[in-house]
Structure 1
Amino acid sequence: MIFLIFVTFFFISTTTLASADTITLNEFYSAGSTSASTGPDWVEIYNDGSDISLYQLLDDGDHSKNLSNASCNDNFCTIDWSNLLNNTGDTIKLVLISSGEILDQVTYSTSGDIPAPSTGQSAGRDPDGTGSWVIFSTPSKGSSNNSSSTPTFTPSPIPTNTPTPTALPSPTPTRKPTSIPVIFNIASTPSSINTDQFLSVSIEIKGWTANQTYYLKGAFIKDGSTNYFGQTKVGPDWIKNNQKYDQQFLITTNSSGEWNGSLDVMPDKEDSGFTGDDEYIFKVGSYTQSGNGPEWSNTTTINIKNNSTPTPIAINTTSTSFVQPTSNLSLQSSPNSSPTHNLQIPAYLKAIESSVAGTASTSGAIFKETVAPPAQTASLFSLPIFGGFVLILTGIGTILFHTRTKILGLIKQIKQ
């Protein structure tokens, strides 16, 4: 019986220890460059049993690095980060991809958890995985920090003797009560939107610090990119992703550390992160009142379509013709034709009128002219021409009349 109790206790203890996987940030090198002598920036993770591909790194500039390509040696996994860590100060976060939960983080700067390492130095935990952050004069990339050279730490100058280096404690999380799971979820997102549309995303927050102010922003990012973009509505204004954290959407948790509401977000097609019609990852980030963050919600995929291409305007190419008004001028004797212009010809021009018009007429007859078909109709300018022609004929007739009278007079005188 005692044997069975011992075996059962051993089995339970072994199972509990096996499931208590430990994964933390363990060491980093931030003074890298493109020079072969210094090499790139890198981060080392202490991993005791977790699937390293489930995690990623984030920094203050929203740069991300998936750990699926990390190089692992026993419990030490390292990955190069292409000189994205700032030399003078930055924050490195170890994040669970599926939930966005931050499992560990370290801030290095003049006022951070550890001063920024100088060229040739690294910062790491001593001992591995659980110790405080200290500066190492010789980096131990991919191996235990416990066997590294003696850690050194230079505090800010004070007017006393140089103190013995003191290890700084790991940062204590302030927004993750151990009795309540931290929840930061988004829902009600569409599968696709246009660049001139916005989405109202539902947000559920639990387990945060009670009665605390936070700032939220929505962000889109192309898979594999590090360039976030988007605009969050704050009052009547749309705040861009790269504007200061304290200009984003402000919320305050209740006495239970919870907040539920919605956030209006739309794409920013002017940002270089938007590369055209495609699928983009969408999530919501949060900042503390002092600017720590962002911490990210769960993610979803949204197809964004750029509708800024102008719609072609149809142009009527049918030629417009000017229709010359049909002249209403008509010289006719018929009472049924409209209109008619009647001109009386003097009796002494009857002979001339007959020769010109080709029509015999009686005294007081009407000079008639039939108007041509519409395509050949005379314009209004025909009337002055016609009047001038009549005056010319009248003059010629008068001259002939007087000439005839003189001739007849001469003939009469000769006969006498």
Structure 2
Amino acid sequence: MPDTRHQPPMILALDIGTSSVRAITFDQFGEPVGAEVRLMYAMETTQDGGVEIDAERLLDTICRVMDGFCAQEGIDATQIRGVGISTFWHNVVGVGGDGYAVTPLISWADTRPASVIPELRDLLDETANHARTGCVLHPSYLPAKLLWFARAHKEQFRKAIRWMSIGEYIGLRLFGEIRCSISMASGTGLFNPHTCEWEPETLAALPIDEEQLSPLTDFLTPFSGLTDEFGSRWPALRDIHWWPALGDGACSNVGSGCVSAGRTALMVGTSGAMRVMWPTDDFTIPDGLWCYRADGRRILMGGAVSNGGNIYGWMRETLKLDSQEAIEHALADTPPAAHGLTVLPFWAGERSPGWHASARATISGMTLHTTPLDIFRAGLEATTYCLASIYERLEAVNTEGQEIVASGAG
């Protein structure tokens, strides 16, 4: 029986993370309705720093989550009026003339593009480019990814007539239309957050044209009318509004209530970040931080670390530690920094604030007395120090900051 405790209309939220896809419905008061449908997935990694996934495989995971949602008892899909989508920033896939991916989808965590950073620095003034785009020259962003792909995989690169994120790929495959939200564009390193347009000086240095990128739109322009393939699969969702995908960091700030300069969002999921959102058209971007957009009205400024929950998971598995509950109890019984270790927590390279693309993890100071729990705690503390460094830089530009709201991905 449908759940009658909640008031329609309903909104379906679809979240595409770097290790799972999940869907849940909310009523008009923002209350969750029914159970979350979630599927885990893993990207492929390579020894030289590659982190990628077949775009169709990720799309299949998304579709199976939607199948599970539509089959869920207690949910009346006919009461859903729209689908909102969030996805991880800084990913890219090349698409051929038939509308299907011709390259893997490359994650933000892929460090292989570090090899072209020196070339990029010869092509672009790094300081001026950061001021224009809000992004540094780093493997996380698309200037490095695209230049690297053009150098390392020439034939595949030539087959791609368009380059887009997984968010745009969803729109293309489900609706036959291509649109990129200002939010997703702002995390590419190809976009100017001051003008809300693709950045011509940056594109001029790269082996692609603006025509190979997606048309820009704000999030209030929805898709509607699923193709026959997907409309017959989810008939209740065929003709409702599906809004263009937004960057997950911007959505996290909104969900945490951090939509003004007085509140700073701290989020730790697979990676970690500290962000401040506020409406403005006049801003400068401090060294070491990035600046994206939530939409055409609000900017999102902050810093991100490539190491968060992924390090927690890696250490727990590699060090053969006990259950999460046992770990928490053991950590509570040990004083901070009592381990005598120094850790550089760059298992996936460094982003904010130093942006050293070739940085790798180091554990220093171990003795025969060092325990797995010592290493575990030192790794978590080191990640926290990185986040504290970001906060210090935010304080310099966000003088209104009075409150930190912490959240995490389960």
For normalisation by structure 1, the TM-score amounts to 0.23
Higher helix share: 2
The structure that has the greater radius of gyration is: 1
User: Which structure carries more relative contact order (alpha carbon 8 Å, separation 6+)?
Assistant: 2
How does the TM-score come out when normalised to structure 2?
A: 0.23
Higher strand share: 1
